[in-house]
Structure 1
Amino acid sequence: MSRQTFLQGALILMIAGIVTRIMGFIYRIVLTRLIGAEAMGLFQIVFPILGLALTLVTMGFPLAIAKLVAEAVAKRDADRVRRVLRISSACVLTSAALCMSLMYAFRHVVARYWLTDPRAYPTYLAMIPVVGVIAVASLYRGYFQGIQDMTPTAWASILEQSVRIVSIWALAAYFVRFSLAYAAMAAMVGMVLGELSGLLFLIWQQRRRARMDQIVPEPAYARTAEPMRATLRAITQLSLPVTASRLIWSLLSAAEPILVLRALGMAGVPLKQATALYGAYSGMAIPLLVFPTVVTSSLATNLVPAVAEAQASGNLDRIRHRLSQSITVTAMVSFPASVVFTFFAAPLTRAIYGDAQVGPMLAIMAPFVFMLCLQSPLTGILQGLNRAGTAMINSIVGGVVRLAVILVLATRPSLGILGVSMATAFSFTLTAALHLIAVVREIGFQMRTASVVRIGLASAAMLAYMLLVTYRAGSALTGSALLLALLGGLMIYFALLCSLRVLTSRAVERVPKVGPWLAAVVRHLPFAI
């Protein structure tokens, strides 16, 4: 099996992430139109239970598999790869079986005390198999991540979404004739079928292209006599902090809406209006803000095994190089996003949501998009360095500080919901700064500012063009005019990145499928190489 480079793996996951996110929008549009908002609400009621169950079942094992398999492959230690997979599989499968059994055994208790609408009960029952399917699939995803082959994971994600959409058309459209409860249940069955198709694809890919004799050819140069207890300890050192972080973060996320509504009430905002404002913030402004993170999340996924492999080989220079690459890629994605979200927030949200009041919420957070996007790759580096506990503490500090700042700012009548946006921006900036300090302490780092400065210049030129094009329209700027200005600005931005040699034809050529064509375009740009 030919291994992918760090950037190739990141690009594959990035493209798959964008495709699946767009398909996710289509999925929700189709689902809402087929079963209606009320049945959609029944479908959503069970999701917090699913998230909690998956956190408890997987327990961070996929991440531990990725890191430890990458280290073992670097040392050509096939025995340790097998031990890691055996122990992780036994733990995850046991916890999945126990969790599903408890979910079924206490189904009536859950229906009575947890589900706010009893009509969600059939959806809850249909959800139980998803826990086992996703748990098993997570083992394969962690394995492919560890051997740095991201293609099967990317295609599996696309296949899952495709099967899910088709299943909705086939099932939900039929069962909606009987009742909303069964329509929501049918949508969950579609999710089960989608996840199952992805799992079967991963199993097939593992047997076809990632068998152990293909990953670590026998005889291996190095073997460890590490006991099972030591392997289990190595797994839990990474998995337990990740699990604890997710559980605590879930609690903090659950506390946020309660705190925000109370803070807005103290600021004199009526409850109905406060609920609408929080819905605009969390359901409209935040999804736009975090859209660029699809790229840096792909980087983070690929960084864990890449950093773990480099650390196992004692190559700190390679880790520093990965950090430098991550910062450059983060700047390339976040700088233009920050420009658009800051200066065109109102017309953008008006064009997308038909609601310009979301604009100020987005504009306050937009200047700090770089720090938001930088969180994921820095977390991946810390986890690859076996510092998952540090990443956990930093994230918890950021989350607690966010709640505290919300209580201070959102209670002011002059700020209200804008105080929540300020608190969020301060929180992810603080978390990213703490991550960066921790990484620099571990590996040392000298910032290469040339590329970042050039990206900043290209972003400034993009902004100047968009302001010039939209100047005459003023407040009457239409969605089509904004789209044309945005497309033109992005073309100028891309051309300048190439002319300033931030992007080279060699780098662009690595993009799957369209890379050679893009590289030919880049070579014809002035000063590009």
Structure 2
Amino acid sequence: MKTEENQKGFWHGALLLTAVALFMKVLSVGYRIPYQNITGDIGFYVYQQIYPFYSIAIILATYGFPVVISRLISEQLAENNVDQAKELSRYSFYILAMLGFGGFLLLYVSAPLLATLMEDHRLIGPLRTTAFSFLIMPGIASIRGYFQGQENVVPTAWSQVTEQSVRVVAILTISISLVAGGADAYAAGTGAALGSLVGGLAAFILLFVLRYRHQPLRINSLTKRSFRFFGVARRILTEGTLVCVSALVMVLFQLMDALTIVPGLMEHGLSSIGARETKGIFDRGQPLMQVGTVLATSLSLSIVPVISKASAEKQKAFIRDKAALSLKVSFVIGLAASAGLAIIMKETNVMLFKDQSLSPTLSLLAFAIFFSSLAMTAAGVLQGVGLARKAARYAVIGIFVKGFLNLILIPLIGINGAAFATVIGFAVVAGLTVFAVHSKVKLIEYPFYLRRAVAAVMVMSTAVVILQFFIPSFLSRGLSSISALAGAIVGGLMFGFATLILQVFTEKELLQLPKGEKISLYQTKLKKGA
């Protein structure tokens, strides 16, 4: 009975984080559309050159250190050591405060060098503004970890919504004001970095209030130390770095692009301006990839404390079933998202960004969604069973593969080389991490029904391709929008229907998912009707 409650709690937590992440990604795509339309491809290029650095700070505060802190706190709470859990929460803040200040100094001082590597000295100002985001990270990360350690993801969810909402409003308001006043794309990029800082500050203020309302810390408790500060610091920094590397794979891939695409395209024969414009167009695929990996991101965040607790209690069957089902969901949804987006990419490109530039390249890039979804979910499982070092090692291998292929392929075949490098890099990470999970929990004993999943995706793809014949999207942006939206809706419905008809998920699996009872009942009716 307790196991069933754990399963329900896990999936409801994942559902909440998925809903929040989807909201955030919709906002992320939503504000980038007007931002690109306001500042143009060069403006979008400027923003995407500095975005990886801001993302590093945010991911450290969301998917990196909070996961480790939550694990430390959950271990103490499992033994009813409440005071020790509070003590760990304080220590984590002090440790991350020092780390955050170091990150700020490093980026601020190295901004000229980074701008030189990017072949654009005008990026120094935007990069230095972004550096301040590392000063906000410690407070956000430590408080999120405190709540997640108690399996309470609500504060994390609310802070994410607050951060993204305030950030979007601030970025658009500042950018519109600057451009209206005659500022160029680089000034708008600095303004966007400032708007991001406002969003992060709003999230910290909210978490600070929630933390002290939840249970204020007593000053006199500071004198009672149960842990050695440097011992806690070593564990947080060591394990945190390992977890963060896995969580940072996607943004570090983007950082590789920021450092290598423009120089590579110039070596390929493009002018400086042409290379920057091409990079700006290529970056249209990044927010679309982020939307496609929402579920995997949320699963990787939710699964670590649950599997960590089960691992401590030696619940091998529970760990295998949870890991296998999480990977299965990521496989099915990731494959459908990749195929669907690739098919409607031209229409989506026109709908969101006015033209269909580099649509074939962006269609290729869409398949990175599938591999990155598997990689992130598998990394979460490895972290939960104490193999964070192995997950980090595989992530680093993938990052090196991505960077190496960028350096080789972009000068040879142009921007398509960056897309190939991204897909191959994520495929390497996915293959290594999934195999490592299999070696640990014996996935071969679990019913994945992968052929049924592929068949469901083929049904969806066929339906969307047929639909496109009836909507001449090339005639206008409006028709492209209709085609893209209709394709997404029809594709989603057909995929869901095919998944139930082909019974990709068993009744037992469906019952573990939110609303699983209703879905299982509907699948049973379809089975009888067939």
Give the TM-score normalised by structure 2.
Answer: 0.78
Q: How many Å separate the matches in 1 of 2:526 and 2:249?
A: 51
Q: Secondary structure at the match of 1:446?
A: helix
Q: How many residues align?
A: 507
Distance 1:259 1:128 in 2: 21
Summarize the Cα distance change of 1:210–1:442 in structure 2 as closer, same or farther, 3 Å threshold: farther
Q: 2:467 is matched with which residue: 466, 469, 474?
A: 469
Q: What is the distance in 2 between the residues matched to 1:262 and 1:176?
A: 28
- Mapped contact 2:256–2:402 kept (Cα < 8 A): no
Establish whether residue 64 from structure 1 lines up as the match of residue 68 from structure 2.
yes
Deviation at 1:378, TM superposition (A): 1.1
Q: Distance in 1 between matches of 2:367 and 2:182?
A: 47
Offset of 1:52 from its aligned partner? 6.6
Alignment check: 8 A CA contact 2:303 2:381 kept: yes
* Distance in 2 of aligned mates of 1:271 and 1:119: 14
- The C-alpha deviation readout for 1:44-94, integer Å capped at 9, x for no partner, is 776566567778999953232022223333343335423432321221133
Structure-2 residue corresponding to 1:493: 495
Q: 1:125-144 alignment to 2 at 5 Å?
A: 130-144=133-147
- 2:463 equivalent to 1:460: no
- More divergent stretch after superposition (300-309 vs 327-336): 327-336
Contact 1:500–1:528 (8 Å) recurs in 2 = no
Please give the alpha-carbon distance, in whole angstroms, between the structure 2 residues aligned to 1:358 and 1:450: 35
CA distance in 2, matches of 1:275, 1:42: 9
Per-residue deviation, 1:302: 0.7
| Structure 1 letter corresponding to 2:208 | I
Contact 1:284–1:358 (8 Å) recurs in 2: no
What SS does the corresponding residue of 1:76 show, helix, strand or coil?
coil
- Asked if the contact 1:341/1:362 (under 8 Å) is kept, the reply is no
CA contact (8 A) 1:238 1:386 kept: no
Code of the aligned partner of 1:197? A
2:220 matched residue in structure 1: none
CA-CA distance at 1:375 after TM superposition: 0.9
Secondary structure class of the residue paired with 2:356: coil
Residues of 1 paired with 2:190 and 2:279: CA distance?
Answer: 28
Shift of 1:371: 2.0
Q: Write the mapping of 1:17-32 to structure 2, written as runs, cut at 5 A.
A: 17-29=21-33
Aligned position for 2:433: 435
Partner residue in 2 for 1:234: 235
Q: For 1:257-298, what per-residue CA distance to the aligned partner results, in whole angstroms no more than 9, with x for missing partners?
A: 5544555555555555444444333x1234333421111000
1:145 to 139, 148, 162: 148
Alpha-carbon distance between aligned partners in 1 of 2:433 and 2:449, rounded to the nearest angstrom: 22
In structure 2, the residue matched to 1:198 is: 203
What SS is found at the alignment partner of 1:314? coil
Aligned to 2:160: 157
CA offset at residue 155 of structure 1?
1.7
When normalised by structure 1's length, the TM-score is 0.78
Tell me if the contact between 1:410 and 1:420 (Cα under 8 Å) persists in the aligned partners. yes
CA offset digits 1:311-347 (Å, max 9, x no partner): 1111222221121111221133122223223444434
Q: Tell me the residue number matched to 1:384.
A: 384
The alpha-carbon distance between structure 1 residues 333 and 21, as it changes in their structure 2 partners (threshold 3 A), is same
- Partners of 2:92 and 2:306 lie apart in 1 by 20
User: For the residues of structure 2 that align with 1:470 and 1:441, how far apart are their CA atoms?
Assistant: 43
Whether contact under 8 Å (1:168, 1:190) holds in the other structure is yes
1:452 maps to amino acid = L
1:237 partner amino acid: T
Unaligned runs of 5+ in 2: 218-224
Matches within 5 A, 1:340-489: 340-367=340-367, 369-412=369-412, 415-446=413-444, 448-472=446-470, 476=474, 478-479=479-480, 480-489=482-491
Q: Which of these residues, 80, 88, 104, is aligned with residue 76 of structure 1? A: 80
Contact (CA 8 Å) 1:285, 1:358: kept in 2 or not? no
Secondary structure in 1 aligned to 2:439?
helix
1:94-134 superposed Cα distances (whole Å, 9 cap, x missing partner): 3445666x58xx97x6787777678975x778767643333
- Cα 1:202–1:523, aligned 2, differ >3 Å: closer, same or farther? farther
Cα separation, 1, equivalents of 2:363 and 2:96: 42
Offset at 1:438? 1.9
The answer on whether the counterparts of 1:350 and 1:356 sit within 8 Å (CA) in structure 2 is: yes
Give 5+ residue unaligned stretches, structure 1. 213-223
Q: What letter corresponds to residue 203 of structure 2 in structure 1?
A: G
2:300 maps to a residue whose letter is A
Report the more deviating stretch, 163-172 or 67-76. Answer: 163-172
Q: Distance in 2 between matches of 1:38 and 1:211?
A: 48
Cα–Cα, structure 1 residues 353 and 442, in superposed 2: closer, same or farther, change >3 Å? same
Q: Tell me if structure 1 keeps the 8 A contact 2:41–2:281.
A: no
Bigger CA drift: 309-318 or 354-363?
354-363
User: After alignment, is 235-244 or 50-59 more displaced?
Assistant: 50-59
Greater helix fraction, Structure 1 or Structure 2: 2
Does the 8 Å contact 1:61/1:235 carry over to 2?
yes
Task: Tell whether 2:91 aligns with 1:87.
Answer: yes
1:499–1:526: 8 Å Cα contact kept in structure 2? yes
**Which residue of structure 1 aligns with residue 13 of structure 2?**
9
